[in-house]
Amino acid sequence: MIRVLGIETSCDETAASVVTLDGGGAPKILSDIVLSQIEEHAAFGGVVPEIAARAHVEALDGIIEAALADSGVDLADIDAIAATAGPGLVGGLIVGLMTAKAIAAAANKPLIAINHLEGHALTARLTDGLDFPYLLLLVSGGHTQIVAVRGVGDYQRWATTIDDALGEAFDKTAKMLGLPYPGGPNVEKVAATGDATRFAFPRPMKGSAQPDFSFSGLKTAVRQAATAIAPLSDQDVADICASFQAAVADALDDRVSRALNRFRQEFPGEAKPALVVAGGVAANRTIKATLEALCEKAGFAFVAPPLKLCTDNAAMIAWAGIERLRAGIAGENTADFVPRSRWPLDSISAPMVGSGRRGAKA
Ligand code: KG4
Ligand code: ZN
């Protein structure tokens, strides 16, 4: 039996969780506590790094205590502490990693520094018992990436965004149209009553041989359309949201279908490979339906873990710790580990863009 305490503080969720792996190889989430800071940031229309770091300091002790209490596992019986050490907002990373180091030192436990993206990448093995290799589409407020997941610690980033993350594009569109933060769910809600054919927004990167994503041109097109017809009626806003969402779904369809083709070529032995989605944007029904249809056509299994485990949480961090322990590659993470605001999953993929308000994107 392996028992790991996970800690996540890389953005605007303070989270702690205890996950176990029994002798038969079955994982179990014993506790999974996530405190969202949405209310603290809502007035500013996005995550404010200093507010996030302070909120983590205030909440983290209590969240860890609650996660241990909920799990019924004594700290003395925990095998290791796994904490997100990057990429993300450095203030939050410092709070989480320093707390983890302190607990590890006091309780004489090993510390495992986890790459947040590895947490997302391995979640489908915790929830669905997926075997390697598989393809991951991560679409959140901070990241938009396609990653070939080949093994524990063995990832290849095939695509990333060259400007905004997709969730960020939803959030900025919402802000422009006067919809509340966080924008994604509100854009989706309003889009349901809109006409998706009214505005012919660009499909960024569609048809490009380069596999990457781009959303800033689409954002500009939305702003220009909104300015041209201002003041906006409720119906105008709904039509813009629906047209924006259709453009995004279409662009994703094109980008992801390229990656599915590449996966087929690189892993010809996989009869029914899987595409896994993660990140808050995976909640969007139009996007989900688009990806599902694409997978169906391409002969891929479509795997969408429960939303609570798709969005930021500490169970995925604890699980990544378990995977590393099991694979015997937890040892390189010592108490000397320094938080990394930038930390690409694979060493060959260079960072593409600067830091947003949710931290570095690659
Ligand atoms: O993974 P997540 O919870 O957190 C981080 O990015 O750290 O993702 C949040 C992002 C936000 O940008 C939010 O607007 C977007 O996911 N989002 C959505 C939907 N629900 C959340 N975007 C589109 N449609 C949704 N239904
Ligand atoms: Zn995340």
Position 362 scores a pLDDT of 56
pLDDT tens digits, one per residue of 219-230: 999 999 999 999
Q: Nearest ligand to the C-alpha of residue 84?
A: 2
Question: Is residue 188 annotated as involved in ligand binding?
Answer: yes
What is the Cα gyration radius of the chain? 20
Give the residues surrounding ligand 1 with Cβ less than 6 Å away: 11, 140-142, 167-168, 170-171, 182-185, 188, 279-281, 283-284, 311-312, 358
pLDDT of residue 351: 66
Measured in Å, residue 167 CA sits from the centre of ligand 1 at 5
Residue type, 14: T
Ligand 1 pocket test, candidate residues 47, 56, 140, most atoms within 8 A of CB: 140
Instruction: Output the CA 229–ligand 2 centroid distance in Å.
Output: 36
Say whether 171 counts as a known binding-site residue: yes
Which residues of the chain register pLDDT less than 70?
331-333, 350-351, 353-362
Q: Phi and psi of 150, rounded to 5°?
A: -100, -20
CA–centroid distance, 32 to ligand 1, in Å, is 19
What pLDDT is attached to residue 38?
86
Q: How far is the CA of 182 from the centre of ligand 1 (A)?
A: 7
Contact predicate 183/131, CB 8 Å: no
Ligand 1 centroid, distance to 184 Cα (angstroms): 6
What does the alpha-carbon distance between residue 213 and residue 217 come to, in Å, rounded to a whole number? 11
Give residue 356's pLDDT. 66
Annotated binding-site residue? 184: yes
Contact in structure between 177 and 237 (CB atoms under 8 Å): yes
How do residues 234-285 score in pLDDT, each as one tens digit?
999 999 999 999 999 999 999 999 999 999 999 999 999 999 999 999 999 9
Stated pTM of the model: 0.94
Question: HEC states along the chain?
Answer: CEEEEEEECCCCEEEEEEEEECCCCCEEEEEEEEEECHHHHHCCCCCCHHHHHHHHHHHHHHHHHHHHHHHCCCHHHCCEEEEEEECCCHHHHHHHHHHHHHHHHHHCCCEEEEEHHHHHHHHHHHHHCCCCCEEEEEECCCCEEEEEEEECCEEEEEEEECCCCHHHHHHHHHHHCCCCCCHHHHHHHHHCCCCCCCCCCCCCCCCCCCCCECCHHHHHHHHHHHHHHCCCCHHHHHHHHHHHHHHHHHHHHHHHHHHHHHHHHHCCCCCCCEEEEECHHHHCHHHHHHHHHHHHHHCCEEECCCHHHHCCCCHHHHHHHHHHHHHCCCCCCCCCCCCCCCCCCCCCCCCCCCEECCEECC
Residue owning the nearest CA to atom 22 of ligand 1: 184
